[in-house]
Amino acid sequence: MERTKILNELFSLEHQVKYPGKPVVSHSFQFTQETGRDEVREIQEKIKPASFCPFPDTTIRENQQFKYVVFAPEGCTRCNRAIILLHGLNERSWHKYLVWAEDLTLHCGVPVILFPIAFHMNRTPSTWYTPRWLLPWLNRRKQEIKNLCNASFFNVALSSRLSISPLRFYSSGLESAFNLHQLIMELKRGEHALFSEDVRIDFFAYSIGALLAQVMLMADPEKVLSDSRLFAFCGGSVFERMNGNSRDIIDQEAYLKIRDFYLNDFLLENQDKKLEKLRTACFLFTDAFRAMIPSQDRGEKRQTFFLQARERIRMIPLRQDTVIPTTGVREAAGSLLAGHMVEELDFPYPYTHQMPFPDHEKIDRSEVIIAFRAVFDRAAGFLA
């Protein structure tokens, strides 16, 4: 917990940082999206803007050009390994992830890339997470929707955008997949300052980031991730079992709308002809996402993928997690593989999906440290 405070005081998206006490340095890099830009734009142009942001998604510059950070062992250059760390839904700060990234860097000896999902972290205008500016829109939303549950200024921006168009969940996920694909190919071609050509790329993914990582591994348009590993923490569930209805994720109205849309409209058989018209990479990403939506494995595409990747994926759900329940994680892997790929953990203190390692004084710090090590020793053992 003390280390988390130190990292947050020094962390920067703008410049290199040498952290005291440990041989770890963070580097800042600029990303400009190019791959898949036209495909994503075609979808985004059809989506109605939310009231609090009357501009189309295609015009949000912060989402198209942004900074990302890489934690690396001090003195590391042209490394032949990389771990991409993916975060959860509706997150605006890397706060809790910094000590995760540092720990993985130290114990795996591998650079860790903190990559933001589309319209998350630093990929949105600052007003989208400014309480004073959002409060009037929150009050308006509460007036327009009777008995609205779990509405807060933390989630009003994402909730409003998804309520206006549930398709945004897909378009943002597709954009994130193309962004990751672009980054991965840049690394594989030796075009990144920290990595050697044909670097092996693994994933540490939390919450909704695990769904994105699963899609990346399943789709793999250029067939460059066949030896990549995924360690999923509090993530990996089929979409049908996820429950993001929370004051710091999305409100009930948004949750019910995206659930209904993706379990019904998005999975209709007549959508197949539309998908066939998509370009190869777009089709593969979309087809993989569709395979991860329902509890029932339609066509056994999901089962085939997990069977082929059984030694490359490990998933750690938490018993008291109501956002990404163990049931959904086991259903993703399938009954034949769940015992091999999924290990449920539980901690002896009150925790939530959003805060698996609470940093307040009401909880015994030694218990939190033991819980943290239980997860990250497993992660390091699997990804090292």
Tens digits of residue pLDDT in 45-68: 999 999 899 899 999 999 999 999
Mean pLDDT of 138-155: 95
Given a cut of 80, is residue 351 above it in pLDDT?
Answer: yes
Given a cut of 70, is residue 272 above it in pLDDT?
Answer: no
Write the CA distances from 314 to 96, 226, 296, 309, 375, integer angstroms: 21, 15, 21, 10, 11
CB neighbour list of residue 373: distance below 8 Å, 6 or more residues apart: none
Which tokens sit at 206? 């939390």
**pLDDT more than 70, % of the chain:** 97
Please tell me the distance from the alpha carbon of residue 123 to that of residue 114, in angstroms, as a whole number.
13
Q: What is the pLDDT of residue 280?
A: 81
Given a cut of 60, is residue 273 above it in pLDDT?
Answer: no
The single residue listed with the structure tokens 């903190």 is 114
Q: What is the pLDDT of residue 80?
A: 96
Given a cut of 90, is residue 279 above it in pLDDT?
Answer: no
Mean pLDDT of 320-348: 97
Mean pLDDT of 231-259: 97
- From the list 199, 226, 255, 223, the residue with the least C-alpha distance to 84 is 199
Mean pLDDT of 112-141: 95
Q: What is the CA radius of gyration of the chain?
A: 20
Residue 47, classed as helix, strand or coil, is coil
The mean pLDDT value of the chain amounts to 94
Residues 297-312: tens digit of each pLDDT: 977 899 999 999 999 9
Residues 76-122: tens digit of each pLDDT: 889 999 999 999 999 999 999 999 999 999 999 999 999 999 999 99
- Yes or no: say if 353 and 74 are a contact pair by the CB < 8 Å rule: no
Host H or E run for residue 218? helix 208-219
- From the list 2, 30, 195, 177, the residue with the least C-alpha distance to 98 is 2
Please tell me the distance from the alpha carbon of residue 382 to that of residue 384, in angstroms, as a whole number.
6
Q: What is the pLDDT of residue 294?
A: 95
Please tell me the distance from the alpha carbon of residue 179 to that of residue 39, in angstroms, as a whole number.
12
CB neighbour list of residue 158: distance below 8 Å, 6 or more residues apart: 89, 90, 119, 249, 250, 254
Sequence letter at residue 141:
R
CB neighbour list of residue 58: distance below 8 Å, 6 or more residues apart: 41, 44, 45
Residues 212-233: tens digit of each pLDDT: 999 999 999 999 999 999 999 9
Given a cut of 70, is residue 269 above it in pLDDT?
Answer: no
**pLDDT more than 90, % of the chain:** 89
Q: What is the pLDDT of residue 162?
A: 97
Domains of the chain: 2-127+162-383 (3.40.50.1820)
Please tell me the distance from the alpha carbon of residue 188 to that of residue 318, in angstroms, as a whole number.
34
Please tell me the distance from the alpha carbon of residue 180 to that of residue 68, in angstroms, as a whole number.
12
Q: What is the pLDDT of residue 300?
A: 85
- Pair type for strands 313-316 and 24-32: unpaired
Sheet holding 230-233, edge to edge: 17-18, 24-32, 65-73, 112-114, 79-86, 195-206, 230-233, 313-316
Helices and strands per DSSP (H, E), number in the chain: 15, 8
Which tokens sit at 24? 């770890």
Given a cut of 80, is residue 182 above it in pLDDT?
Answer: yes
Confidence of residue 2 (pLDDT cuts 50, 70, 90): confident
Given a cut of 80, is residue 1 above it in pLDDT?
Answer: no
Residues 4-19: tens digit of each pLDDT: 999 999 999 999 999 9
Question: Range with the lowest mean pLDDT among 263-267, 276-280, 339-343?
Answer: 276-280
Given a cut of 80, is residue 278 above it in pLDDT?
Answer: no
